[in-house]
Structure 1
Amino acid sequence: MRKVGRPGTVGDIAIATVTMAALCSGVWLLRGAAETQAPPQPSVAQAVADTGPGRFVASALPPSPPDRIRIPSIRVDAPLMGLGLTRTGSLDVPPARYKNLAGWYQAGTMPGETGTAIVAGHVDNTEGPAVFYDLGAVRRGSTIEVDRRDGSTAVFTVDAVEVYAARDFPDQKVYGAAARPELRVITCGGGYSSTTGYQGNVVVFAHLTGSRGR
């Protein structure tokens, strides 16, 4: 597995299956209780990226660490913590015990500046649904807001929502460098196995379309 390149850019990293394994155990579903059910998954229609020539892109913002993410369509309003790398070079994950906590890759692009910013969070924990349980229900055209430490809010519009099996995860498409301000929001999804947990990942692709505040 490739390691992260120079600090400050996502570039050609491959976080992929080793990274997401810690997010994807699906301990809650292992209970087999009648009230448990798998999280929603995106439809094929949501996987068609809306990136035509008329698609508005806002000017990039200056660098500023993010503190909070909101996805109104699925009622997400969660703090963000910085994530580093494990000793194997994969992305670390937020502590599972905090179900309403997401993380961002702090050695990479900051949400709002030019490049590909990465946010990841758990789909569930031992107590039930976690911060990105409903991520697969996000639709193209939805809004994602990221509050930044300089007092500004970066506003992103969703281009596509896709689900990938771990063995087919498109590293470059998800993590590769971008010439405009883009955001990826990632959690677990796809098929589910009682022995290995979730078999893939849900990925939301979005780009910057506005900002508020400073």
Structure 2
Amino acid sequence: MTRRRFRRTRGPSNAAITAVTVLALCSGMLLLRDGRGETPPQPSAAQARTGADDRSALRSAAPALPPSPPDRVRIPAIDVDAPLTGLGLTRTGSLEVPPADRKNLAGWYEAGTTPGERGTAIVAGHVDNADGPAVFYSLGALRKGSTIEVDRRDGRVAVFTVDAVEVYDAEDFPDTKVYGAAPRPELRVITCGGGYSRTTGYRGNVVVYAHLTDTR
């Protein structure tokens, strides 16, 4: 895995992320390579966030952890078990993305909240690359109630429960909803999704919303 010296330049906030940040994940390289008509699974309307989900999350939220960089993310329901690398921002204020040639590598926004800490932590990864499906190819198939585990460098495992899985067109991406501050430990996991164009790739993003429910 890639390790960097942990530091914050802007505090535990995602305010520096200024736009739809993961379009570089979304070239659709697999589809462009082999011309298939298939696309990765997309979330159904039943997986969208509701008021009942928010109330349930409040009741089940676990206490926040102190800051600690994450090293690995696991999502058992879709067979994800991947190392994490730190991501910064590009010159235009968008989130960097993991190297496309490392298909089982995901990244986290290291200038923001660490997973398990109070606030909104951000994890992103490719949906595919030139060789085939990548780390978050099946993210759109995830369902409410699924578990996401994050191994932290302090030896703790932060366990999150999925509240919703939604898909957005790039032009309608809700920056504040996805990246905004939270009063409890929350997690967003992001990849490409939505419609697909052979000239521009995927037209949007799949976003998983989750909150901390346990620590090991």
Q: Secondary structure at the match of 2:77?
A: helix
1:52 to 50, 55, 66: 55
The residue that corresponds to 1:70 in the other structure is 74
Query: 1:146-172 CA deviation, whole Å, 9 max, x = no partner?
Result: 000010000000000000000000000
The residue that corresponds to 2:33 in the other structure is 31
Q: Secondary structure at the match of 2:59?
A: coil
1:98 to 95, 102, 124: 102
Kept in 1: contact 2:87–2:98 (CA 8 A): yes
2:12 to 5, 9, 12: 9
The residue that corresponds to 2:130 in the other structure is 126
* Aligned-CA RMSD value: 1.6
Q: 1:124 to 1:118 in 2, by over 3 A?
A: same
After TM superposition, give the deviation of residue 100 of structure 1 in Å. 0.1
Query: 1:183-213 CA deviation, whole Å, 9 max, x = no partner?
Result: 000000000000000000000000000000x
Q: How many residues align?
A: 206
Unaligned runs of 5+ in 1: none
Structure 1: how far apart are the matches of 2:97 and 2:81?
Answer: 18
Q: TM-score w.r.t. structure 1 length?
A: 0.92
Matches within 5 A, 1:191-210: 191-210=195-214
Is 1:156 the counterpart of 2:160? The answer is yes
After TM superposition, give the deviation of residue 8 of structure 1 in Å. 2.2
The residue that corresponds to 2:42 in the other structure is 41
Unaligned runs of 5+ in 2: 1-7
Query: 1:95-142 CA deviation, whole Å, 9 max, x = no partner?
Result: 000000000000000000000000000000000100000000000000
After TM superposition, give the deviation of residue 88 of structure 1 in Å. 1.5
Structure 2: how far apart are the matches of 1:145 and 1:37?
Answer: 29
Structure 2: how far apart are the matches of 1:8 and 1:202?
Answer: 26
